[in-house]
């Protein structure tokens, strides 16, 4: 009998298999700690694969030129500038994945696997200053025993990241493939961590909606002052590339206060080939702004909802509070005003906040909101469906702000002075797991497309209100609602399409009434029979 043909494993299946297998090795560590062991190794695998891919290409070029001796070829293949000049990290021989793998197999003497990995991380940082103090050196800490580490290295060795050709016929290199795996692992860790995972991970469909509505373009400055693991930047550059722009011609600035999350962002962006300025250390945007002089064309963020311990009592007279001093007990309006302060004269911003931010009047929040609306700063409000976020059950919304909105010189919103677009997307979304929803590509396209039409974007359809979904409201109407920005107050209810074959209402009422009385009569008859039978007992 001929041997059975092996079934091909799709990349998605491989990621899932690796995740389930890697998770079995976790042991007594929780996801918050274990993710750094896994993601650090994934990064090490990536930098080795990316360099190997470039090395193979370089060697082929040298041999095609001719006139190079073997010794000269070998020396050129180890020149650091050949890699860093191409935007690829140089990995010295002792830090390459093959060396670490040999240590995991026990074929190298002198170092444990934990010592070998930590040494590799230090060596990579030493040759690549942009990675200084960002890679985890935790593998020889004793928190995971060497046998489990060795098993994890051998498991991750199954990730194959040589150049491949996708279904679309395009060549996909190590960077793109590893980027997909890294994002997948980030999402799975966020799912395991639950509420805490939301501190570093925003659901992909929410990020995509933000980016689709903000439409960053080549040559712009993009800022996220609460950047988590950097997912906003990844999606922004993907958008630019798919729309014909050069993603390398974008200036990216971010900030993150949590040190371990800041390190995750560095690795995530490095894997995706994104050069970003995340500051020289993890820091709080309110109290230690690492980009004090930066004005951005696009600001986007998913800051923590409703935080009360943001140190507002120390910032009472801060110059950022243009529209009013935010309450000490809630940072929502501090985030809004901080981001507004970072915009260029024609900049735009998209911010994820709790639903309460649209209607709260506590501690002056209503006055701040009114001042922002009166200044024609608010462009669009989107009410999101529930169950999108792993980290919180608090309903969320999107704020879209624009400086210069409605002015003739505006490049983003034209002819909408004194108007706000309200979109109610609460009924959207499909269940991704038993407890989590995601917005579909069609739903994201519908919301973003409606916003493009309202903005008067080039090539967009003409805008019309859709009852129950969207409505453009003027300033006077918003004043009548006391500056409450909840979309449900403005969009009304959806129109119900009439069925031409439907039964007329009067006839339907008469028929149902007759049927109901018939049920009453039958009930009375059955009751009499039961009473008669019971009387005979």
CATH placement of domain 11-186: 1.20.1260.30
Written in H, E and C, the secondary structure of 330-373 is: CCHHHHHHHHHHCEEEEEEEEEEEEHHHHCCCHHHHHHHHHHHH
Give the relative orientation of helices 97-105 and 113-127 as an angle to the nearest 10 degrees.
170
Contacts of 514 (CB under 8 A, 6+ apart): none
Nearest-5° Cα angle at 88, 87 to 92: 145
CA distance 344 to 322: 15
Give the bridge partners for 301, in sequence order. 351
Per-residue pLDDT of the chain (537 residues; tens, 9 = 90+): 444 444 444 445 667 766 776 776 676 666 667 778 888 888 898 889 889 989 999 999 999 988 888 999 999 999 999 998 888 899 999 999 999 999 999 887 778 999 999 999 999 999 998 888 889 999 998 888 888 889 889 988 887 655 544 444 444 555 566 666 777 777 777 667 655 444 556 888 999 999 999 999 999 999 999 998 888 898 898 899 888 888 878 899 999 998 888 888 888 888 787 889 999 999 999 999 999 999 999 999 999 888 999 999 999 899 999 999 999 999 999 999 999 999 999 899 999 999 999 999 989 999 999 999 999 999 999 999 988 887 667 789 999 999 877 665 567 888 899 999 999 999 999 998 888 889 999 999 999 999 999 999 888 999 999 999 999 999 999 999 999 999 999 998 765 455 555 567 777 787 888 888 888 888 888 888 788 777 776
- Cα–Cα distance measured from residue 109 to residue 307, given in angstroms and rounded to the nearest whole number: 51
Tell me, rounded to whole angstroms, the distance of Cα 327 from its chain centroid: 28
Instruction: For residue 421, give Cα distances in angstroms to 329, 400, 415, 454, 481.
Output: 29, 10, 13, 8, 15
Q: Which residue, among 323, 294, 320, has the nearest Cα to 224 in the 3D structure?
A: 294
pLDDT at 162: 54
Angle at 474 between CA 469 and CA 477, to 5 degrees: 90
Strand (E) or helix (H) holding 425: none
Please check whether residue 338 is in contact with residue 369, taking contact to mean a CB–CB distance below 8 angstroms.
Answer: no
Q: What Cα–Cα distance (Å) separates residue 510 from each residue in 7, 503, 524?
A: 63, 11, 21
3-state secondary structure at position 423: strand
Please tell me the distance from the alpha carbon of residue 140 to that of residue 159, in angstroms, as a whole number.
23
**Could you give the CA distance from residue 245 to residue 222 in angstroms, rounded to a whole number?**
15
Secondary structure of 208-272 as H, E, C letters: HHHHHHHCCCCCCEEEECCCCCCHHHHHHHHHHHHCCCCCCCCEEEECCCCHHHHHHHHHHHHHC
Q: Please give the model's pTM, rounded to 2 decimal places.
A: 0.79
What pLDDT sits at residue 247? 81
The candidate with the shortest Cα–Cα distance to 286, out of 237, 335, 240, 325, is 335
Return all residues near 184 (Cβ < 8 A) that are at least 6 apart.
Answer: 15, 19
**Per-residue pLDDT, 175:** 57
pLDDT score of 173? 52
The answer to whether residues 364 and 321 touch, using CB atoms and an 8 Å cutoff, is no
In this structure, the strands spanning 296-301 and 276-277 are unpaired
User: DSSP of 129-168, one letter per residue?
Assistant: GGGTTTS---TTSSSS-HHHHHHHHHHHTT---S-EE-TT
- Which among 354, 427, 412 is positioned nearest to 380, based on CA atoms? 412
CATH classification of 195-491 is 3.40.50.150, yes or no? yes
Within its chain, how far is the Cα of 174 from the centroid? 22
Q: In which region does residue 141 sit, left (phi positive, over 0), alpha (psi from -120 to 50) or beta (all else)? A: alpha
Domain ranges for the chain: 11-186, 195-491
Q: How many CA atoms lie within 13 A of 198 on its CB side?
A: 16
Q: Residue 28 is encoded by which pair of tokens?
A: 């007594």
Q: Give, in order, the Cα–Cα distances in Å from 440 to each of 10, 132, 206, 445, 515.
A: 22, 39, 10, 9, 43
Separation of alpha carbons 305 and 525, rounded Å: 61
Task: Please check whether residue 149 is in contact with residue 40, taking contact to mean a CB–CB distance below 8 angstroms.
Answer: no
């Amino acid at each position: 009998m001929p041997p059975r043909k092996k079934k091909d494993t799709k990349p998605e299946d491989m990621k899932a298999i690796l995740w389930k297998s890697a998770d079995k090795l976790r042991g007594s560590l929780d996801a918050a700690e274990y993710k750094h062991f896994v993601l650090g190794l994934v990064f090490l695998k990536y930098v080795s694969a990316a360099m190997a891919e470039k090395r193979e290409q370089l060697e082929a070029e040298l041999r095609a030129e001719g006139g190079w001796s073997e010794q000269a070829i070998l020396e050129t293949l180890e020149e650091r500038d050949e890699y860093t000049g191409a935007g690829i990290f140089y990995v010295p021989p002792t830090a390459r994945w093959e060396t670490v793998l040999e240590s995991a197999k026990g074929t190298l003497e002198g170092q444990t696997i934990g010592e070998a990995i930590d040494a590799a991380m230090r060596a990579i940082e030493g040759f690549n200053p942009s990675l200084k103090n960002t890679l985890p050196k935790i593998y020889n800490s004793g928190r995971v025993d060497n046998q489990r580490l060795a098993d994890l290295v051998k498991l991750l060795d199954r990730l194959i990241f040589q150049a491949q050709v996708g279904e679309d016929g395009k060549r996909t290199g190590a960077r793109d493939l590893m980027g997909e795996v890294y994002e997948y692992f980030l999402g799975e860790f966020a799912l395991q961590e639950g509420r805490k995972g939301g501190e570093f991970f925003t659901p992909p469909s929410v990020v995509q909606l933000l980016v689709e509505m903000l439409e960053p373009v080549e040559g712009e400055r993009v800022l996220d002052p609460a950047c988590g693991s950097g997912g906003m930047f990844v999606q922004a550059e993907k958008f630019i590339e798919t729309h014909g722009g050069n993603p390398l011609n974008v200036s990216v600035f971010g900030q993150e206060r949590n040190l371990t999350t800041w390190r995750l962002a560095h690795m995530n962006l490095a894997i995706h080939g994104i050069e970003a300025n995340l500051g020289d250390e993890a820091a709080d945007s309110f109290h230690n702004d690492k980009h004090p002089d930066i004005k951005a064309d696009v600001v986007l963020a998913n800051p923590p909802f409703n935080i009360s311990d943001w140190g507002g009592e120390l910032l009472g007279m801060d110059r950022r509070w243009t529209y009013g001093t935010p309450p000490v007990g809630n940072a929502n309006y501090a985030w809004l005003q901080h981001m507004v302060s970072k915009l260029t004269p024609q900049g735009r911003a998209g911010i994820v906040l709790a639903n309460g931010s649209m209607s709260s009047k506590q501690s002056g929040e209503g006055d701040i909101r009114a001042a922002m609306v009166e200044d024609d700063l608010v462009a669009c409000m989107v009410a999101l469906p529930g169950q999108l976020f792993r980290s919180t059950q608090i309903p969320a919304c999107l704020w879209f702000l624009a400086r210069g909105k409605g002015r003739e010189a505006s490049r983003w919103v034209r002819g909408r002075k004194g108007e706000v677009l309200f979109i109610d997307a609460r009924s959207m979304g499909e269940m991704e797991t038993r407890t989590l929803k995601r917005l579909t590509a069609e739903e994201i396209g519908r919301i973003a497309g409606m916003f493009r039409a309202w903005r008067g974007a080039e090539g967009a359809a003409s805008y019309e209100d859709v009852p129950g979904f969207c409505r453009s409201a003027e300033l006077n109407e918003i004043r009548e609602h006391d500056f409450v920005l909840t979309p449900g107050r403005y969009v009304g209810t959806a129109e119900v399409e009439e069925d031409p074959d439907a039964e007329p209402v009067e006839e339907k009422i008469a028929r149902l009434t007759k049927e109901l009385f018939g049920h009453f009569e039958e009930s009375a008859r059955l009751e009499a029979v039961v009473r008669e039978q019971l009387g005979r007992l």
